[in-house]
Amino acid sequence: MLIKSLVLKKQFLTTVQESVTLGEALTILEDTGFRCVPILDSTGTIFRGNIYKMHIYRHKSRGGDMNLPVTYLLKNATKTIPINAPFFKVFFNIKDLPYIAVLDENNHFYGILTHTKLLNMLSEAWNIDTGSYVLTVISSGQSGELAAMSEIISREVVIAGCLTLDAKKTALVRRNLFTLQSGVTKKQLKKIIKNLEEHNFHVSEVDDLQNGVILNEF
C-alpha cells in the first residue's frame, strides 16, 4: 500500500489524550515546536481531532479557561483517511491541513500523512536528481496521443517520469510533462522536439533540471 509506506506511525508521534487540559496541551505544543498535534481517546486508539497552538493562544488571549479539556478546541475531527484508501483521495482531503490522520482497518488511529511526505513523494516522481530535462508537450487530449508522444520520445531516450495536467473534460488542451533520463545531449533533445513538432505536438517549455533553469531556446 502506497499510503502505508508514507505514514508516520503513531508510536513515533507526539499526541495528547482527550483528558488533557488546554494549558497542558499548550505546554506540549510549545515544548515540541509543533503547531498542532493529534488528540486521541484515553485508550490511545481513537482519533478525536487535532489541537492547534494558534487556537489555544487565541482562547487564552480572550481570557478563556485554560483548565478546559483539550477537546473544547478540537478541529478536523472528520479529516481522516483509511490506510487502504486510493491515493488520489489524499489530495481531496489534505488540502490546507499540515497532515491528515490515517486510520487502520479497525478505524483505529494508525498515524499521520504529512504535506512534507506527500511533496517529497511527488518530487521523487520528477526524478530531479537523476533526470536531465522536463519537456512540457501540449496535446488535445484525444485518444492515443499520450502513447504517440511517449513512442516518439522513447525512440531516442528513456522516459524517467510522466505527468499530465489539465486533464479535466472541459480543458481544451493538456500539458504533458515528460522527464527524460540523465545524460541526454542537446542534440538528442533537439531531435526529440523536432519529431514531436512534426507530429503536431507543441513543446511549450523545456526545464533543465541539472542547472535549474528554463531553456529559452531549444
Residue-level pLDDT, tens digit, the chain, 218 residues: 568 888 999 999 999 999 999 999 999 999 999 999 999 999 999 999 999 999 999 999 999 999 999 999 999 999 999 998 887 778 778 878 899 999 999 999 999 999 888 888 777 766 666 789 999 999 988 889 999 999 999 999 999 988 888 766 556 788 999 999 999 999 999 999 999 999 999 999 999 988 888 887 76
- Give the integer Cα–Cα distance in Å for 159 and 179: 6
Distance between CA 209 and CA 46 in Å, rounded?
44
Looking at residue 88, its pLDDT comes to 73
How far apart CA 124 and CA 130 sit, in angstroms, is 10
- pLDDT score for 42: 94
Q: What CATH number does the domain located at 2-121 have? A: 3.10.580.10
| pTM for the full predicted model | 0.72
Q: Which pLDDT does position 94 carry in this prediction?
A: 85
Residue 12 gets which letter from DSSP? G
Angle between helices 145-154 and 186-198 (to 10 degrees): 150
All three cell numbers of 134: 522536463
Domain 127-214 classification at class level: alpha beta
pLDDT at res. 95 = 78
Structure confidence at residue 125 (pLDDT): 66
Q: In the chain, where do the E strands start and end? A: 8-9, 16-17, 36-40, 47-52, 80-82, 99-103, 109-114, 133-139, 159-165, 174-180, 202-208, 213-214
Residue 31: how many CB atoms within 10 A of its CB?
9
Q: Structural domain boundaries of the chain?
A: 2-121, 127-214
Q: Give the pLDDT of residue 31.
A: 97
